[in-house]
Amino acid sequence: MAAARLRLLSLGFLSPAVSWPRHSSRQGLRAMSTLSTTLGSGAGEDEIERIRREFEDAKRNYLSIPVAIKDMPKMNPQGIYVNKNVKLDDLQVYGFDYDYTLSHYSEHLQCLIYDLAKKHLVNELKYPESCLKYEYDRSFPIRGLYYDRLKGCLLKLDFFGSIEPDGCFFGRRKLNLSEIKELYGTRHIGRDQARQLVGLMDVFCFSEACLIADTVQQFVDAKLEFDASYVYEDVNQSIQHVHRSGLIHRKILSEPQKYLIKNSQVFRFLKMLREKDKKLFLLTNSPFYFVDGGMSYLLEDEHFDGNSWRELFDVVIAQANKPTFYNSDHPFRVYDTQKDTLAFTAVDKFLPNEVYYHGCLKSFLQITKWRGPEVIYFGDHLLSDLRGPSKAGWRTAAVIRELEDEIEIQNGENYRFQQAKLSIIHDLLGKVHATVVSTEKGQVYRALLDELNAERRQCRSAMRDLFNSSFGATFLTDTGRESSFAYHIHQYADIYTSKLENFLSYAPESWLHPPHDIKIMPHNAKVPASLFSGS
């Protein structure tokens, strides 16, 4: 562990930042000088002048962009987006996670988790009392970050596993590009480095990511030597304690109106499925008393034929220990809701009035006889909830609340204006890099390349500022490519949407299929440069 220990000023020796335009220019010049010896320069210099005029025309025509994009179709914030074909009529069984799937919480919950975990760090794990001064900062984290247990950095990665240039924080300080390269050698995370990374993929990780960064910053400010892996282990232990001890559950149930968000549309969706003779099951890691209290509150204004929300479900499984549930041999136990005890008899069938604990996928399929392709499971955690079902042959649906807000931003005039400018700049950059210029007369080439790169940085920055102030968009990088979080959605979710009730807008017989022209994420609309070719 000695090699992994970090000191306060471990980043202070780093060399000055190297700007992207200079780096790109040197690469371009090397390529151009190699080719110019065989292809000549006159035509290339004329082409550069032509591209320069095209760039000047584009800048004069920027004001026409809003008119050009006005009639472009917008993405539906409440839509269902498809990675793999799903025919709803073939689905006979619907399974649901509880937290952030059937239930949704106010912003107060992240503050509560953060505060309880922070106190556990100080009171039980003897962290400095100065850690108590920090408060949860909702503007800082996004979902899908990684923590490097070796170097102590919070990272945002792109679809291909490279560090986002503006997405690396040591504590609460953003590292510049030269510091990133000093630490990692390159922006790309290799296989060995990836083993040191911990993914923060669910909504509960907002408070965890913030607490990790604040704790690292506390050690930095106090000039204390520390081991980055210990910070993660202790913060994660504190977060787990908040959940496993029941502290968070009791607090939520004591003030449900403060933490839980009622939504009658969820009940409408579940009731519609029952009326269509679909089978429903609940599979959650939360304890039953917490789920029971939450569901009773969320549905207290609805009218049941009976007297319990459990009548909506054919099977109710609590404390399932996902993701272990999907690959273990743990037996199911019948849970006595009155006595708060577990029965010792073997479970060979599921009864509608019973509640079950633990279990495993193997036994679940043996008991129910439900075939994989006819089952769809809804969850918010891509790794804990959906990776196991995806590999088991179930259909999977991710419920991602942030999707709605990010689509609204992408539909906005400000974002599309910058995206259109960026498309034009990328088109011109492609032409510049494909042009042969002599070494002797490369000044015009370098000047144009620098201007285009400066314009590209301005567009990226303007688009990024519309999202999270620290890490930008959840699904996109600053370059406009999909993020690592988007990669996991693409890999483990057949379909994804912002909330369950969005399915009410689709007929139960609908056939959901990805658009034929989509490369990766179907909700990310691109503005092509060709749209402005007539300007």
CATH number of the domain enclosing 392: 3.40.50.1000
| pLDDT recorded at residue 324 | 94
Percent of the chain surpassing pLDDT 90: 65
For residues 173-194, give the mean pLDDT.
Answer: 90
pLDDT in tens, 102-119: 999 999 999 999 999 999
Q: How many domains does the chain have?
A: 2
User: At 64, is the pLDDT very low, low, confident or very high (cuts 50, 70, 90)?
Assistant: confident
| pLDDT recorded at residue 528 | 64
Helices H, strands E: what count in the chain?
Answer: 18, 19
Which of 63-77, 495-509, 511-525 shows the lowest per-residue confidence on average (mean pLDDT)? 511-525
> Does 385 show up as a binding residue in the annotation?
no
Asked if 279 and 334 sit in the same domain, the reply is yes
The strand ranges marked E within 163-297 are 163-170, 173-174, 197-200, 226-227, 279-283
> Does 517 show up as a binding residue in the annotation?
no
For residues 129-156, give the mean pLDDT.
Answer: 94
Q: Is residue 73 a part of any domain in this protein?
A: no
pLDDT at 59 over 60: yes
| pLDDT recorded at residue 190 | 84
User: At 282, is the pLDDT very low, low, confident or very high (cuts 50, 70, 90)?
Assistant: very high
| pLDDT recorded at residue 35 | 36
Q: Which residue has the higher pLDDT, 459 or 40?
A: 459
Which of 13-22, 178-187, 233-242, 328-337 shows the lowest per-residue confidence on average (mean pLDDT)? 13-22
Asked if 160 and 273 sit in the same domain, the reply is no
Asked if 112 and 250 sit in the same domain, the reply is yes
Q: Is residue 447 a part of any domain in this protein?
A: no
Rounded CA separation 242/107 (Å): 17
| pLDDT recorded at residue 287 | 96
For residues 248-252, give the mean pLDDT.
Answer: 96
Asked if 220 and 274 sit in the same domain, the reply is no
Q: Is residue 344 a part of any domain in this protein?
A: yes
Contact 490, 452 (CB under 8 A): no
| pLDDT recorded at residue 289 | 96
Q: Which of 251, 62, 228, 252 is nearest to 147 (CA)?
A: 228
User: At 168, is the pLDDT very low, low, confident or very high (cuts 50, 70, 90)?
Assistant: very high
pLDDT at 409 over 50: yes
User: At 65, is the pLDDT very low, low, confident or very high (cuts 50, 70, 90)?
Assistant: confident
**String of DSSP letters for 278-318:** -EEEEE-SS-HHHHHHHHHHHTTTS--SSS-GGGG-SEEEE
> Does 166 show up as a binding residue in the annotation?
no
Q: Is residue 307 a part of any domain in this protein?
A: yes
Asked if 287 and 345 sit in the same domain, the reply is yes
Asked if 143 and 91 sit in the same domain, the reply is no
Q: Is residue 525 a part of any domain in this protein?
A: no
Asked if 235 and 125 sit in the same domain, the reply is yes
Domain that holds residue 330: 82-105+259-400
Burial 168-194 (b: 16+ CB within 10 A, else e): bbbbbebbbbebbbebbeebebeeebe
User: At 515, is the pLDDT very low, low, confident or very high (cuts 50, 70, 90)?
Assistant: confident
For residues 52-75, give the mean pLDDT.
Answer: 84
336 is catalytic: no
Q: Is residue 208 a part of any domain in this protein?
A: yes
Contact 206, 143 (CB under 8 A): yes
Residue tagged 């092509």 (tokens): 528
Q: In this structure, what token pair is assigned to residue 68?
A: 């050009």
Asked if 149 and 217 sit in the same domain, the reply is yes
Asked if 358 and 301 sit in the same domain, the reply is yes
Which of 25-29, 171-175, 254-258 shows the lowest per-residue confidence on average (mean pLDDT)? 25-29
Q: Is 105 helix (H, G, I), strand (E, B) or coil?
A: strand
| pLDDT recorded at residue 62 | 83
Q: Is 474 helix (H, G, I), strand (E, B) or coil?
A: coil
Q: Is residue 160 a part of any domain in this protein?
A: yes
Please name the amino acid found at residue 201: M
Q: Which residue has the higher pLDDT, 478 or 283?
A: 283
314 is catalytic: no
Give Cα separations from 338 to 128, 290, 314, 354 (angstroms). Answer: 43, 14, 20, 11
pLDDT at 428 over 60: yes
Task: Pick the catalytic residue from 97, 166, 478, 494.
Answer: 97
From 348, 369, 400, the end of a domain falls on: 400
Asked if 94 and 126 sit in the same domain, the reply is no
**How many alpha carbons lie under 13 Å from residue 117 in its C-beta half-sphere?**
34
| pLDDT recorded at residue 359 | 96
pLDDT in tens, 288-315: 999 999 999 998 887 665 568 999 999 9
Which of 39-43, 178-182, 271-275, 349-353 shows the lowest per-residue confidence on average (mean pLDDT)? 39-43
Percent of the chain surpassing pLDDT 70: 87
| pLDDT recorded at residue 530 | 61
Which of 1-15, 314-328, 395-409 shows the lowest per-residue confidence on average (mean pLDDT)? 1-15
From 400, 425, 445, the end of a domain falls on: 400
Q: Which residue has the higher pLDDT, 23 or 163?
A: 163
pLDDT at 283 over 80: yes
pLDDT at 21 over 80: no
Contacts of 200 (CB under 8 A, 6+ apart): 141, 143, 144, 145, 146, 147, 208, 209
From 232, 255, 278, the end of a domain falls on: 255
User: At 139, is the pLDDT very low, low, confident or very high (cuts 50, 70, 90)?
Assistant: very high
Average pLDDT, the chain: 86
Asked if 312 and 267 sit in the same domain, the reply is yes
Give Cα separations from 97 to 108, 121, 208 (angstroms). Answer: 21, 29, 21
pLDDT in tens, 492-514: 999 999 999 999 999 878 899 88
| pLDDT recorded at residue 526 | 66
| pLDDT recorded at residue 358 | 96
Q: Is residue 196 a part of any domain in this protein?
A: yes
| Helix (H) or strand (E) segment spanning residue 203 | none
pLDDT in tens, 465-489: 999 989 999 999 887 788 999 999 9
Asked if 372 and 331 sit in the same domain, the reply is yes
Rounded CA separation 376/86 (Å): 10
pLDDT at 153 over 70: yes
